[in-house]
Amino acid sequence: MPVRNDLSALEGYHSPQVDVRVRLNTNEAPVAPPAAFRQAYAEAVAKIEWHRYPDRGATDLRAAIAELHGVDPAMVFVANGSNEVLQTILLTFSGFGRTVATFEPTYQMHGQIARSTGATVVEGERGADFSLDIAEVRRVITEFRPHVTFLCSPNNPTGGVDSPELVREVLGLNAGLVVVDEAYGQFADWSALELVSEETPLVVTRTFSKTWSMAAARLGYLIGPKWLVAELDKVVLPYHLDTAKQIAGTLAVQYRGDMEERVRMIVAERERVVATLKTLDIEVFPSGANFVLFRTKSKTGRAVWQGLLDRSVLIRDCSGWPRLENCLRVTIGTPEEDDAFLVALTEVLK
Ligand code: PMP
């Protein structure tokens, strides 16, 4: 049975899961959630009524996230990872006959999910340093009038943060629904959350996978106008978020202090890693995230990636991706993991 014509050229999203000593390839948190959280979760899960469907509205979880951000619970949409949040946005606002704009290179799944809904994806270009130029954004938006425009701040895989001025300008451009993907938002020094309002066609997506040390749970959310959240609620599958996950998210936000402390540690560690990377024979791109992108000079990116893997250090090889020739991306880990990476990299570059 042939798949839909427009899907036949689609390639999946791949990130190798290899058994290594130091794994810095998928931007996860380097440490587990607090022990007190895990204890509270185990106790709460023991009381689940397994024969009942979960709370369809995820009421407690939405209330907890709303409180975290000081917004109305009706402005919160939750799903299985921010990927499912993105998918629900695109099922609701893109699809056949509609256009979605991305600025490349960026998070591959924006274009990929848009295409899987049948939408046409138009790709704007980032500058040589991977920053977004407002003139290019204006060109793409005026030429294609997208129904959905993606920003990603900090941008994966390049790490750069879009300025508040830029996001405000995009919002003034008739760019359809503007999605600011803030999967790494907590590591940056400002958030587009402050621009969300009932009157603005803007949503900000977040995840528990990075800062909250909960990649295993698959939990993400967005903050946006109430009318829009109500539309997403119609499209997403009934009971999509299981009871255990709702409990996990609701409990997690009670440990906000621990999360903020981890973010501070990771940001400090990022600055330390960047300082060392800058002493090596590579080009380092500025990062507001929990990862750093760099470009090799005298050896190919692939050779350096393989050299690291030979030393049991796994990072992300972006060197074969369009526009990212010789680029590698390393996730910030524990100081010990980062030291192992830096020692291995120094050796490989010799
Ligand atoms: N957005 C960006 C920019 C990401 O890098 C990721 C994870 N790689 C996601 C969304 C998806 O995260 P999750 O589905 O784990 O919430």
As a whole number, the mean pLDDT across the chain is 96
Protein residue with its CA nearest to atom 12 in ligand 1: 82
- How far apart CA 46 and CA 217 sit, in angstroms, is 17
Distance (angstroms) between ligand 1 centre and the Cα of 85 equals 10
3 state DSSP class of 311: coil
Query: What is the number of residues in the chain?
Result: 350
Protein residue with its CA nearest to atom 5 in ligand 1: 156
- How far apart CA 179 and CA 92 sit, in angstroms, is 13
Q: What is the pLDDT of residue 32?
A: 94
Protein residue with its CA nearest to atom 2 in ligand 1: 183
Using most ligand atoms within 8 A of CB, pick from 14, 28, 77, 83 the residue to mutate for ligand 1: 83
C-alpha of 96 from chain center: 25
Distance (angstroms) between ligand 1 centre and the Cα of 206 equals 8
Q: Is the pTM of this model over 0.95?
A: yes
Protein residue with its CA nearest to atom 1 in ligand 1: 183
pLDDT in tens, 10-60: 777 667 778 899 999 999 999 999 999 999 999 999 999 999 999 999 999
CATH label, 45-255, candidates 3.20.20.110, 3.40.640.10, 3.90.1150.10, 2.70.98.60: 3.40.640.10
Q: Where in the chain are the domains?
A: 5-32+257-349, 45-255
According to DSSP, the residues that pair with 121 across neighbouring strands are 100
Using most ligand atoms within 8 A of CB, pick from 156, 180, 203 the residue to mutate for ligand 1: 156
Distance (angstroms) between ligand 1 centre and the Cα of 58 equals 21
Distance (angstroms) between ligand 1 centre and the Cα of 28 equals 10
Atom nearest to 155 CA in ligand 1: 3
Distance (angstroms) between ligand 1 centre and the Cα of 82 equals 6
Helix (H) or strand (E) holding 102: strand 99-104
Distance (angstroms) between ligand 1 centre and the Cα of 51 equals 31
- How far apart CA 163 and CA 145 sit, in angstroms, is 22
Contact 342, 326 (CB under 8 A): no
What residues of the chain score a pLDDT lower than 50?
A: none
- How far apart CA 60 and CA 349 sit, in angstroms, is 51
Contact 39, 221 (CB under 8 A): no
CATH 3.90.1150.10 fits 5-32+257-349, yes or no: yes
Protein residue with its CA nearest to atom 6 in ligand 1: 183
Q: What is the pLDDT of residue 18?
A: 82
Tell me the C-alpha to C-alpha distance, in Å, between residue 87 and each of 107, 263, 342: 13, 27, 37
Atom nearest to 210 CA in ligand 1: 15
Atom nearest to 26 CA in ligand 1: 8
Helix pair angle (335-349, 301-310), 10° resolution: 120
Q: What is the pLDDT of residue 92?
A: 98
Using most ligand atoms within 8 A of CB, pick from 13, 150, 209 the residue to mutate for ligand 1: 209
DSSP symbols for 249-293? HHHHGGGHHHHHHHHHHHHHHHHHHHHHHTTSSEEE---SSSEEE
Q: What is the pLDDT of residue 200?
A: 97
Distance (angstroms) between ligand 1 centre and the Cα of 108 equals 10
Give residues (CB < 6 A) around ligand 1.
Answer: 27, 81-83, 107, 152, 156, 181, 183, 207, 209, 220
- Here the contacts of 257-262 (C-beta below 8 Å, separation 24 or greater) are 258/33, 258/34, 258/37, 259/186, 259/211, 259/212, 259/213, 260/186, 262/29, 262/31, 262/211, 262/213
What's the token pair of residue 21?
């000593």
Distance (angstroms) between ligand 1 centre and the Cα of 221 equals 11
Rg (CA), the chain: 20
